[in-house]
Structure 1
C-alpha cells in the first residue's frame, strides 16, 4: 500500500502541513497517494476510484447512474453502494464489464449492475500483461499452466441484470461467497463459478431467473455448495460441466442441496449456446456431485439430466431425496461414454430414463438410457429481458470495510430440508 503521506510537500508550519494533508486526503490523491475511504463521485469518478482506494479501504458509491467501469486491483477492498436500487452501474450496451476485481478478499455489495456486454461483476484471478483482470486464459492449457487461485471474495445484495455473458462471475478464485443476490437476463448465465480445483465456494440465497442458464459451474471442484437458492424461469436451472476450455477439469465434489429449481422453460430469455431448454439440472462429465433435497418441478424436458462431456464420463454422483413433479422426465442418465457407478436414491414414483434407476444398486454400473433434446424455442436478446423490480436494501451504508475470513464457513448441509416452492419470493417477479 502506498504511503498516504508519500509525495506531500513539506512546507513550513505544522498547521499548514496538517491542512495540506487533510485537503489531499479529500481531494483524490493527485500525487499518487491512496485513501482509506473513497466516495464516488465526491472524491473520484467510478472509473478512477479503483486506483485511489488503499488496501483495506472502502469505495462508497452514492446514488446515481454510472455509465462506467470500476476495476480494483488492491486487496481487502469493499465496493459498496449506498442504496442497492439507486446506485446503478449501467454499461449502456457499450462497456465490457461493470465491476472487475483481481485483489484478494474483495467485497462487492448493495448495488445494481446492468447492460454490460460481458459481465456485471467479474471477480477474477486471471490478469493480462498489463495487470487488468480477464475471464479466461488460452484454450486447452493444462492445470500446471494455470495461475494460482486468488483467495477471498464476497458478492452480496447485488442486482445484476441484462448482461451479455455473465451476471456474477468468479473465475480462478477460491474461498468465496455469492449470497443474497438477484441475477437475471444473463446471456450465458446469471451466476458462474469456474476454473478452480479447490473452489471453496458457497452460492446461497440467490434469486436467479430469466437467464440462458441460472447457475453455471465449469471445471469447478471440491467444496462447491449451491444451497437455498430460487432458480426458476431460466432455460436451464443449474449446469455443471467439464471441458478443456479451462483448466482443472473435470468438475468434482459439487453439492446442490436444498434449492428450488423449477419451471425452467422461459422463452423470453437469451438462447443457451448448446440449445438446451426446459432443464432443471444438467451434470455433464461431473464426478462426485451430490444433488439432494431439492424441489425440482415443472421443467418441461428433464428435471435432472446426467451426461458425458467431451471425454469426461460421469461417475460417483448421488441423486437423492427431494421433490419431483411436472417434469417431462424427472431424471435422465444418458452418457455417451462410461457406465460409472452412480447412486439414485429416489422414490419409485420418480420418472426416469432409463426406467428403474431408482432401483439401481449404488456402486454398480449404471444402466444408460436415451434422450434427445427437443429444439429450443427462439429467444430474445439479453438487453430485452424484463428488468427485475426493486430489491431489499442492505440498510445504512457505513465506511467500515467488510472483513473477510481466510477460509469461509459452510452451512450444515445435513440439516437442510426440501424448501417450500415460494421460500424466496420477495425479490422475484
Structure 2
C-alpha cells in the first residue's frame, strides 16, 4: 500500500511539474520537441534536440532503435499515455533521462535500454524511470544494461520476461541507485550486480519468479535492503 501511494504521488507531482516547467521553458526559449508533431520519429527528434532539451513522445508505436548522443536530454511520455517503442534505446551521452515509455524490445535491439560507458569514458547521471520494458520476441536478452555508469538512477520500472536478465550493472559502475522497480519472469537473473560494481543501492524492489536468482550481488560494498526477493545470491 505504501509503495502504491508513493507511485501515485510521484505521478501527480510529475504531471504538475511537466505542466508548470514546460510553460516556463517555452517562455525562456528552451528546446521542447513533440513527437510526432514536430518530427515523425523519436530518432529525428533526438538528432535535432539541443543539449538539455526535452522530447515529449505522444501515444503511438515507434518502430526504431533510438541512439541518444546529445547531453542531458529528457525523453518522456505523459503518465497514462503509454507511447510504445518497438525496438530499444542506446544511450551514448551523459545526463540522459528516459521516463514513462513502453519499450517492446526486438531481437535487433537485444537490450531495451543499453548504456555504452567504458572504464576510460564512463557515463554519468543517467536516469531511467517508470518505463515498462518487455520482449517482443526471442533474442531480447536484457531489459536494462549499464556498462560503466557513475551515479545513475533506475527507479519505478517494470521489467518482465527476458532471456538472460532484467537489469544488469556491469563494469566499474559506482553509486548506482536501483529503487522501486518490479523485475520478474527473467530466465536467469532479475537484478545482476557485476563483480566490479561498487556502492550500488538496491532498495525496495520487487524481484520475483526469476529462474536462477532474483538478485545476484557479486560487487563491492553494495547495499541490498528491503527488497521482495526470494532468491538472493552472492
Query: 2:168, 2:220 → 1: CA distance?
Result: 16
Task: Rate the CA distance shift 1:86–1:154 in 2: closer, same or farther, 3 A.
Answer: same
Consecutive unaligned residues of structure 2, counting only runs of 5 or more, are 1-29
Which residue is equivalent to 1:426? none
Which residue is equivalent to 1:82? 78
CA drift at 1:222 = 2.4
Which residue is equivalent to 2:5? none
Deviation sequence 1:93-148 (CA, Å, 0-9, x none): xxxxx11111111101011001322111113224xxxxxxxxxxxxxxxxxxx323
Which residue is equivalent to 2:182? 207
Which residue is equivalent to 1:261? 229
Match of 2:233 among 274, 282, 298: 282
Match of 2:61 among 44, 65, 73: 65
CA drift at 1:47 = 2.4
Pairs within 5 Å for 1:117-196: 117=107, 118-126=110-118, 146-162=119-135, 164-196=140-172
| Pairing 1:219–2:195 present | yes
Which residue is equivalent to 1:99? 89
CA drift at 1:152 = 0.8
Query: 1:83, 1:180 → 2: CA distance?
Result: 12
SS of structure 2 residue aligned to 1:148: coil
Query: 2:195, 2:95 → 1: CA distance?
Result: 22
Query: 1:84, 1:233 → 2: CA distance?
Result: 27
Give the helix-richer structure, 1 or 2. Answer: 2
Which residue is equivalent to 2:45? 49
Deviation sequence 1:44-76 (CA, Å, 0-9, x none): 212222211110001110100111121111111
Query: 2:81, 2:199 → 1: CA distance?
Result: 32
Greater radius of gyration (CA): 1
TM-score under structure 2 length normalisation: 0.79
Q: Are the equivalent residues in 2 in contact too, given 1:84–1:159 (CA < 8 A)? A: no
Match of 2:216 among 217, 227, 239: 239
Q: Are the equivalent residues in 1 in contact too, given 2:147–2:170 (CA < 8 A)? A: yes
Task: Rate the CA distance shift 1:229–1:101 in 2: closer, same or farther, 3 A.
Answer: same
CA drift at 1:238 = 1.0
Query: Deviation above 6 Å: which 4+ runs of structure 1?
Result: none
Which residue is equivalent to 2:7? none
Deviation sequence 1:27-54 (CA, Å, 0-9, x none): xxxxxxxx81121112121222221111
TM-score under structure 1 length normalisation: 0.44
Query: 2:58, 2:196 → 1: CA distance?
Result: 35
The count of aligned residue pairs is 197
Which residue is equivalent to 1:37? 32
CA drift at 1:176 = 0.7
SS of structure 2 residue aligned to 1:55: coil
Query: 1:123, 1:84 → 2: CA distance?
Result: 26
Query: 2:102, 2:43 → 1: CA distance?
Result: 16
